Structure 1
C-alpha cells in the first residue's frame, strides 16, 4: 500500500514540474513575441580628419560621427565604429569587414565603380596650402619644381597625380593628415593639397604655420558609402535619415557645433 502511495506521489510531483516548465516556456515565447533586435552595422571612419572625425580621450567626435549616430537613431539601427587609415576603408568594405563608410569621402566616378553613395551631405572642395611665410605659391601655375604633399587614398592625392606632369611638380604621399601638415610646416614640402574645411579647421585650432592660397581646385561633395549593389535598404535608410535631419534642423546644429557659421 505504501509503495503505491509513494509511486502516486512521485507521479504527481513530475506532473507539477512538467506543468511549471511548460508555463515558463510559454512565458518566454510571449515575452519574445513581437521583439526584433536592431540591425548592427559596422561603420568605417578615419579619426585623423577633424572636424569630421577625430578622437579625444578615447571618444570619437566630429561632424561625421554625430551625423551617422543621429541617422542611426532616427532610422532605428545600431552602429559599431571601426577606425582605420582612410586608404583602407573601401578595401575593407570589399572584404566584407565594413557595411558603411563615412570618412569625409568625396563622391567620385572612380569610387562609384566600387561603392554606392548617399545623397551628398557636405560641399567641400580642394585647396592649396603653403607655409605662412611662403609668398611665391598662389596657384597651380606656381608649382613647377615644387614638392606637393598629399594624403594617400584621397581625392587630393588623385588630383596631384593627375596634374603633376602638366604643372611640373613632384608628389610625396602620407598615411595621415597631421604628418602631411607637419611636412609643409617644417619646410620639407612646398605645398599640400587638402579639403578646404579640414585644413581651415586645423589651422584655426592649432599653431600650424600654414595658410590656404588661391581658389578652390574643384567642387567635391562628401557622401556616405555602402558597397556597390549591397545594402540598398540601408542606403535608403541613410538617405531618409539625412533628409529628416535636414528638415528638423538637427543637421545644421551638428555642422554649427564644429564649424563657424
Structure 2
C-alpha cells in the first residue's frame, strides 16, 4: 500500500485574500482614530482587486474542467471495473459520446463519489484505454477512472491519486487436484497453467519454473472453463474476484502460496492533468475515506451486476 499523504484542506489555508482582509480591518481601525472628525476613509480599491483575484485563483485551483460536469474517461468495456449498459440505474452514469448508453462498474461508483465531493455531475466518456492519458491532457476528459494503475511512464504525463482498490494475482485449482496442497512454485512442477491473454495474468506464469505454460485464454470465462473442464490444472485469477468464483464453482480452491508473484499487485488509481494539487488532495480525501470492507462490498456488488 502507498503511504497516505498529508492532506491540506482548502478551508484550512490562510490565503492572501484573508490576510488582506485582516490587514484592511486593522488599517481601518487606525484610520478611525486619526480621522474621527473627517468622515469615512476612502475604500482601498487595490486591496479589493487583489482579494478578488485571489478568490478567482483559489476557485480555479480547486476546480476540474468547467466545474459543473465531470467528464470521466474509461473504456466502458472492462468489467467489473467499468462496462456499458443500455438502462439507467442508481449505479450508472450517462456515457456522453454514446447515445442512450450508460456506464456501470467499480470505477463508476468511485467516480460518482469524487464528483459529489467536487459538487459536479459525472458523465462517462468512452475511449480506447491507450488514448486515455492523451485525452486527459488535451482537455477531452477531466479525470481517468478506468482500472488504470500508476507506473513510472504514466506518472510523467499525469498526476495519480491514491489507489481506491488493490488487486493481486492468485492461483486457483480444483479440490481433487494433485496440486491442491501446493504452497511453493516448486510444488507446481508439471502443472498446466493458464492465464488471460494480453494481461499480467498470463505474463506472471513465466515466474513459475518447470510448468506447462498454456496458450492463454482470450477472456476470463474461457480461462475458468479450462479449469472446470480439466483442460488446465491451475489458472491465475483476480484476488478480489475469488469469493464470487468460489460461490459459482464450489469445487474450486485458492492455493495458499508462500511464493508470491513479483510485480503482480495492481492498484486502481484515478488520474488528472498535472498542476492541480488542490483537486488531487480533495480526490485523495474521498478515496481514503472509503473503508476497506466497503471497497470489497462494492467490488462484490459489481461482480454480481457485471454482464455475463
- TM-score (structure 2 length as normaliser): 0.54
Q: CA deviation at 1:101?
A: 4.2
Q: CA deviation at 1:70?
A: 0.9
Distance 1:156 1:103 in 2: 18
Structure 1 gap segments, 5+ residues each: 1-35
Q: CA deviation at 1:44?
A: 1.3
Which protein has the bigger helix share?
1
Structure 1 counterpart of 2:216: 173
Question: Quick one: which of 87, 111, 114 aligns to 1:68?
Answer: 111
Structure 2 counterpart of 1:211: 253
1:178-197 residue pairs with structure 2 within 5 A? Answer: 178-197=221-240
Q: CA deviation at 1:94?
A: 5.2
* Conserved? CA contact 1:54–1:62, under 8 Å: yes
| Structure 1 residues 42 and 54: CA distance shift in structure 2, 3 A | closer
Question: Quick one: which of 131, 136, 152 aligns to 2:174?
Answer: 131
Distance 2:229 2:82 in 1: 25
Distance 1:38 1:185 in 2: 49
Structure 2 gap segments, 5+ residues each: 1-65, 93-102, 302-308
Secondary structure at the aligned position of 1:183 is classed as: helix
Secondary structure at the aligned position of 1:187 is classed as: coil
Q: CA deviation at 1:96?
A: 3.3
Structure 1 counterpart of 2:55: none
Question: Quick one: which of 27, 38, 42 aligns to 2:68?
Answer: 38
Distance 1:168 1:71 in 2: 44
Distance 1:41 1:151 in 2: 30
Structure 1 counterpart of 2:135: 96
Q: CA deviation at 1:213?
A: 0.5
* Conserved? CA contact 2:173–2:179, under 8 Å: no
Q: CA deviation at 1:196?
A: 0.9
Secondary structure at the aligned position of 1:194 is classed as: strand
| Structure 1 residues 160 and 56: CA distance shift in structure 2, 3 A | same
Distance 2:83 2:253 in 1: 21
Structure 2 counterpart of 1:12: none
RMSD between aligned alpha carbons? 3.8
- TM-score (structure 1 length as normaliser): 0.62
* Conserved? CA contact 1:38–1:78, under 8 Å: yes
